[in-house]
Amino acid sequence: MDRKEFLKNLGFGAAFMLTASCLGGCSKGSQDLGPVDFTIDLTDSQYAALTQNEGYVVIDRVVVARDINGNYVAATQLCSHEDKYKIIYKNDEWFCTDHDARFTLEGDGINGNGSKGITTYQTVLDGNMLNVFS
């Protein structure tokens, strides 16, 4: 192999490695927390934030919130942009405090950093008991 061919192969290999590492680092990663299924007693003082609209709590890496209309919503705390547990409820959407990724309450991305979306969960209210499940 001559020098020109070697550099050409090296360039292709380097470009492949750079592309592969970026795609791996920017991927959605493992957002599956496994099956989610827990119940919250809303009369328990540790969940007092959920008695008012726009309040939220984090339980086992799941963010549970009461939206501006009084509906209960839940999503993973894991941001799809860089796999960091930084999602909170803010301004009636899911928000990553680390790099400003934004998501609808249904988990769809709103901006570039949130474009991959996040996992959301179902909620069912029965009296004072709130069930959150996948």
24 vs 78: which has the higher pLDDT: 78
Identify the pLDDT of residue 34.
Answer: 82
Sign of the C-alpha dihedral computed for residues 46, 76, 99 and 84 taken in this order: positive
Provide the mean pLDDT of the chain.
84
Res 131 pLDDT > 60: yes
pTM of the model: 0.76
pLDDT at 12: 43
Strand order across the beta sheet in which 87-90 lies: 87-90, 93-96, 102-103
Please give the biggest Cα pair distance in the chain: 77
Q: In the chain, what are the domain boundaries? A: 1-29, 31-133
**The two structure tokens encoding residue 45:** 């003082």
Q: Which residues contact 70 (CB under 8 A, 6 or more apart)?
A: 53
Name the superfamily (CATH) of residues 31-133. Rieske [2Fe-2S] iron-sulphur domain (2.102.10.10)
Mean of pLDDT values over 71-79: 97
Question: Can you give the pLDDT at residue 5?
Answer: 55
Question: 27 or 34: whose pLDDT is higher?
Answer: 34
Distance in angstroms (rounded) separating the CA atoms of residues 134 and 123: 9
Q: What share of residues in the chain are helix, strand, coil (percent, to 5)?
A: 25, 35, 45
